[in-house]
Homo-oligomer: A and B are copies of this chain.
């Protein structure tokens, strides 16, 4: 029997694995705004903030991915969630990001959010754009040259958005 992917709240026990995945994710410089200058301290304060609802995806005891859900804006914009996802490089192409996305949509709904917004989805990262579209997000705007891609230089980035009305 194949063990199932489990998605659970992140704890201090997962911090080292999440930091390792973060370093893998930013090393390519093609998808995430954080760059190599990000200190472990700054990353940890951001990802494991009490406001961030960090989760991890675990398969057979190994942390293969992590995501956070938080309010995208304070106060009068706080009914719209924001989320970020990271998958370990060795675990790519196995549907883990999609499963984390589904989990995060239900979490956001249960937390009372009415919509979810991604602020800077790199336009050249077509795998991600298509994945988020598959999960109900649409491009509501494109920011010209807003992302400094490690290989391609400045490239466009999308703002993506979805309501949570259809989430159970």
Please report A residues at the B interface, Cβ cutoff 8 Å: 26, 29, 32-35, 37-38, 73-80, 114-115, 117, 119-120, 140-150, 154, 157, 159, 161, 163
- Tell me if B146 and A143 are in contact (CB < 8 A): no
Q: In the complex, what's the smallest C-beta–C-beta distance from A25 to chain B, in angstroms? A: 12
- Tell me if B140 and A117 are in contact (CB < 8 A): no
Partner of A146, one of B26, B80, B120, B157: B80
Q: Do most interface residues of chain A lie in helix, strand or loop, or is the interface mixed?
A: strand
- Tell me if B33 and A148 are in contact (CB < 8 A): no
CA distance A117 to B157 in the complex (A): 12
Chain B residues closer than 8 Å to A161, beta-carbon distance: 143-144
- Tell me if B35 and A76 are in contact (CB < 8 A): yes
Chain B residues closer than 8 Å to A144, beta-carbon distance: 115, 140, 161, 163
CA distance A149 to B75 in the complex (A): 11
Partner of A76, one of B34, B76, B142: B34
Chain B residues closer than 8 Å to A159, beta-carbon distance: 140-141, 143, 159
**Given A140-B141, A159-B159, A79:B114 Cβ within 8 A:** no
CA distance A140 to B35 in the complex (A): 26
Additional A-B contacts beyond A33-B74, A141-B142 (11; CB < 8 A):
A29-B76, A32-B75, A33-B75, A73-B120, A73-B146, A140-B142, A140-B143, A141-B141, A141-B159, A143-B159, A159-B159
